[in-house]
Amino acid sequence: MNIEEKIKVNIIEAFQKIYNAEIPEKSIQIQKTRKEFIGDFTVVVFPFLRFSKKSPEQTAEQLGIYLKDNFSEIKEFNVIKGFLNLKFYDSFWLNFLNTTLLEDNYGFVKSNEDSEKIMIEYSSPNTNKPLHLGHIRNNLLGYSIAQILKANGKNVVKVNLVNDRGIHICKSMLAWQKWGNGETPDSTGLKGDKLVGNYYVKFDQEYKKQIADLINKGISAEEAKKQAPLLIEAQNMLLKWERKDADVLELWKKMNAWVYKGFDETYNNLGIDFDKVYYESETYLLGKSIVAEGLKKGVLNKKEDGSVWADLTKDGLDEKLLLRADGTSVYMTQDIGTANQRFAEYNNDKLIYVVGNEQNYHFQVLALVLKKLGFSWADNLFHLSYGMVELPEGKMKSREGTVVDADDLLNEMIETARETSEELGKLDSYSKEEVNNVVKTIALGALKYFMLKVDPKKNMLFNPKESIDFNGNTGPFIQYSYARIKSILNKAKDQKIEKSDCVSSNIKISEKEVNLIKLIFDYPATISEAADNYSPALIANYIYDLAKEFNQFYHDCTILKEPDNDIRNFRLLLSQMIGDIIKSSMSLLGINVPDRM
């Protein structure tokens, strides 16, 4: 029984004894005491007034007296209006610290065969361009949320759906065919995804020239966009691909292979992985049979031109195209089929799509159409909608070549981390190999932390220079705090300072030390809350608070030079526990922490 449950049991007993009343457990609200008040836990008294028939202050006072008399851990209490603040003895917190020191993976819940099965889809790149800044936020969110869900005991499957077919892919292929002169990643020294992306930009440049020429000849802008020869050629190439034209398929496979190799390199550099990769070219036809069945049952309707639609007007939406007049599928059709396949393959309890908020409507429609088609699991789809990420320079457009390439950003982060570390003299005693490893760890930590500390639902501005600051709410500050703890523990070992496995419950500790133990106490609930809200930001900001409190404690309290053996032992064990939590919580964000910096 944890402490909150114990408080609840005692409150229920108190009302039976004092007021001869049975109060429901759900009416008991227990919160952390706000910093400006004295206390550890606060009980909200207002829901009890209909049972006590007394004022909030009287009820809280009588309840406080009962709890102090019958709950040995409570040292004192105070009443602020309708709130009862409970202050516990230091021995309670010291005993709690001892229990956590004995736990492996404190705060984590082990999964088993009966644990909830959750599939999470993230990344979903197109094979006509390299991964960019927006993909980085997507990948980091998806991977981190998967880690957090695992830490809550869920069975998690991480999947990627690669968009490897369609008109946008054909645009890159056609441009390379026309202007590539047979160049390859090997002949140019470019990553394959970067090379192919250059031809997507090239297509757009030449396409715009053709549109301008047509407009100059008196054709309307709208018609010029449709009549441009390049676009017509790309559309014909897509038709050939769908008919399995041998030459088009060979070109498609060759250029996609270049891109996949480039993607894998970027994923590896980011520390991102997947349990399974789906390809749109293998899944885009899956939904057609489901749509045909829905048409047969009268759930869907066919128009005069042969196109198939879902009428969602009664649900406050519009009509949604599912099959074109020529019988070809659309994204929605593919997602219907892919979702069905995934639930059949894995028997998921939930399927989470990590996709930007510009697709909110798409996923609202997807769940509704699946429900109308009779799939009971449609209610188990969840769109994790996240905000856009921008740089100080503003928005990006991939077809115009103004996107920030993920690899370029990573390289910039590494160089910035190297420059900042050298300026601060943090790498003076390192070998060249150690410098490279630490710099990369700092750079990735800075990037990931800065991206993940913002609530996923919010748009964000990413500033590379600001993210690598060794002070403030940044990854390097937290990494440095961990390295400081490792240094303290190593020095204790070198000085042969003995450290036992538990702390004495009789020592006197400061309020700052109690606050650190209370933050340790909060860790499991923080992991749980982060999973419930699909928000790595809750973990990120928790770690920052913990690291900040530790650094203040380190500044105010002696550790290795503390003359009292029991207090020194406590402070070493407290530091060790905080170091372990920083390491495990940073791992939930996909971030490594170096032992020294």
Q: What is the pLDDT of residues 510-546, one digit of tens each?
A: 999 999 999 999 999 999 999 999 999 999 999 999 9
Count CB neighbours of 385 within 10 A: 17
- pLDDT score of 556 more than 70: yes
Phi, psi at residue 505, to the nearest 5°?
-90, 5
Q: Which of 88, 105, 131 is the last residue of a domain?
A: 88
Domain contains 209: yes
How far is the CA of 499 from the CAs of 41, 71, 575, in angstroms? 31, 32, 12
Q: What is the pLDDT of residue 2?
A: 84
The CATH number for 466's domain is 1.10.730.10
Domain contains 27: yes
Token couple for 289? 């049979």
Q: Which of 344, 376, 400 is the last residue of a domain?
A: 400
Asked if residue 45 and residue 135 are part of one domain, the reply reads no
Q: What is the pLDDT of residue 396?
A: 41
Arithmetic mean of pLDDT, 148-171: 96
Q: What is the pLDDT of residues 210-231, one digit of tens each?
A: 999 999 999 999 999 999 999 9
The CATH number for 48's domain is 3.30.1360.70
Radius of gyration of the chain (CA): 30
Q: What is the pLDDT of residues 306-343, one digit of tens each?
A: 999 999 999 999 999 999 898 888 889 999 999 999 99
Q: Which of 162, 135, 172 is nearest to 254 (CA)?
A: 172
* Rounded distance between C-alpha atoms, residue 400 and residue 207, angstroms: 12
Q: Which residues are bridge partners to 383 per DSSP?
A: 353
Tell me, what DSSP letter sits at residue 46?
G
Domain contains 304: no
Domain contains 105: no
Please provide the average confidence, as pLDDT, over all residues in the chain: 93
Decide if 129 contacts 200 (C-beta within 8 A): yes
Token couple for 472? 């403030």
Q: Is 61 exposed, middle or buried (0-12, 13-18, 19+ CB in 10 A)?
A: middle
C-alpha triplet 443, 447, 453: angle, nearest 5°: 140
Number of domains in the chain: 3
Domain contains 108: no
Asked if residue 121 and residue 52 are part of one domain, the reply reads no
Q: Is 314 exposed, middle or buried (0-12, 13-18, 19+ CB in 10 A)?
A: exposed
Asked if residue 414 and residue 391 are part of one domain, the reply reads no
Q: How far is CA 475 from the centre of its chain?
A: 15
Domain contains 16: yes
Q: Is 232 exposed, middle or buried (0-12, 13-18, 19+ CB in 10 A)?
A: exposed
- pLDDT score of 582 more than 70: yes
- pLDDT score of 401 more than 50: no
Asked if residue 561 and residue 444 are part of one domain, the reply reads yes
- pLDDT score of 13 more than 50: yes
Token couple for 543? 């770690």
Arithmetic mean of pLDDT, 117-146: 95
Asked if residue 393 and residue 359 are part of one domain, the reply reads yes
* Rounded distance between C-alpha atoms, residue 445 and residue 474, angstroms: 8
Decide if 87 contacts 40 (C-beta within 8 A): yes
Domain contains 19: yes
* Rounded distance between C-alpha atoms, residue 300 and residue 298, angstroms: 5
Q: What is the pLDDT of residue 217?
A: 93
State how beta strands 350-356 and 381-386 pair.
Answer: parallel
The dihedral over CA atoms of 446, 447, 449, 454, expressed in degrees to the nearest 10, equals 130
Helix (H/G/I), strand (E/B), else coil: 564:
coil
Count CB neighbours of 17 within 10 A: 11
Arithmetic mean of pLDDT, 503-512: 93
* Rounded distance between C-alpha atoms, residue 233 and residue 231, angstroms: 5
Q: What is the pLDDT of residue 395?
A: 46
Three-class SS of 117-141: EEEEECCCCECCCCCEHHHHHHHHH
Q: What is the pTM of this model?
A: 0.92
Decide if 409 contacts 133 (C-beta within 8 A): yes
Q: Which of 347, 366, 400 is the last residue of a domain?
A: 400
Asked if residue 533 and residue 464 are part of one domain, the reply reads yes
- pLDDT score of 596 more than 90: no
Torsion sign, CA atoms 554, 560, 563, 565: positive
The CATH number for 161's domain is 3.40.50.620
Token couple for 400? 């115009």
Q: What is the pLDDT of residue 471?
A: 87
Asked if residue 430 and residue 372 are part of one domain, the reply reads no
Q: What is the pLDDT of residues 441-495, one digit of tens each?
A: 999 999 999 999 999 999 998 888 888 888 889 999 999 999 999 999 999 999 9
Asked if residue 166 and residue 219 are part of one domain, the reply reads yes
- pLDDT score of 399 more than 50: no
Domain of residue 560, residue span: 410-588
* Rounded distance between C-alpha atoms, residue 550 and residue 540, angstroms: 15
Count CB neighbours of 256 within 10 A: 23
Asked if residue 530 and residue 548 are part of one domain, the reply reads yes
Which DSSP string do the residues of 139-170 spell out, in sequence order?
A: HHHHHHHHHHHHHBT-EEEEEEEEB--SHHHH
Residues sharing a CB contact under 8 Å with residue 328, sequence separation 6 or more, in sequence order: 242
Token couple for 175? 């441009």
From 408-412, 542-546, 566-570, 576-580, the region with the lowest mean pLDDT: 408-412
Decide if 42 contacts 34 (C-beta within 8 A): yes
- Percent of the chain residues topping a pLDDT of 90: 84
Q: What is the pLDDT of residues 40-92, one digit of tens each?
A: 999 999 999 999 999 999 999 999 999 999 999 999 999 999 999 999 999 99
Confidence of residue 1 (pLDDT cuts 50, 70, 90): low
The number of C-alpha atoms within 13 Å of 82 and in the hemisphere containing its C-beta is 11
Q: What is the pLDDT of residues 333-354, one digit of tens each?
A: 999 999 999 999 999 999 999 9
Which DSSP string do the residues of 445-456 spell out, in sequence order?
A: HHHHHHHHSS-T
* Rounded distance between C-alpha atoms, residue 141 and residue 158, angstroms: 12
180-197 burial string, b = 16+ CB within 10 Å, else e? Answer: beeeebeeeebbbbbbbb
- pLDDT score of 400 more than 60: no
Asked if residue 144 and residue 199 are part of one domain, the reply reads yes
Domain contains 253: yes
The position carrying tokens 């990573």 is 410
Residues sharing a CB contact under 8 Å with residue 264, sequence separation 6 or more, in sequence order: none
* Rounded distance between C-alpha atoms, residue 581 and residue 245, angstroms: 56
Token couple for 161? 């759906």
Confidence of residue 397 (pLDDT cuts 50, 70, 90): very low
- pLDDT score of 134 more than 90: no
Asked if residue 234 and residue 121 are part of one domain, the reply reads yes
Q: What is the pLDDT of residue 403?
A: 66
Three-class SS of 67-84: HHHHCCCEEEEEEECCEE
Asked if residue 201 and residue 77 are part of one domain, the reply reads no
Q: What is the pLDDT of residue 380?
A: 96
- pLDDT score of 23 more than 90: yes
Arithmetic mean of pLDDT, 144-171: 96
- pLDDT score of 425 more than 80: no
Q: For the chain, how far is it from start to end, CA to CA, in angstroms?
A: 41
Arithmetic mean of pLDDT, 19-45: 94
Q: Which of 283, 114, 268, 128 is nearest to 193 (CA)?
A: 128
Decide if 152 contacts 110 (C-beta within 8 A): no
* Rounded distance between C-alpha atoms, residue 536 and residue 481, angstroms: 20
Tell me, what DSSP letter sits at residue 109?
B
Arithmetic mean of pLDDT, 200-209: 96
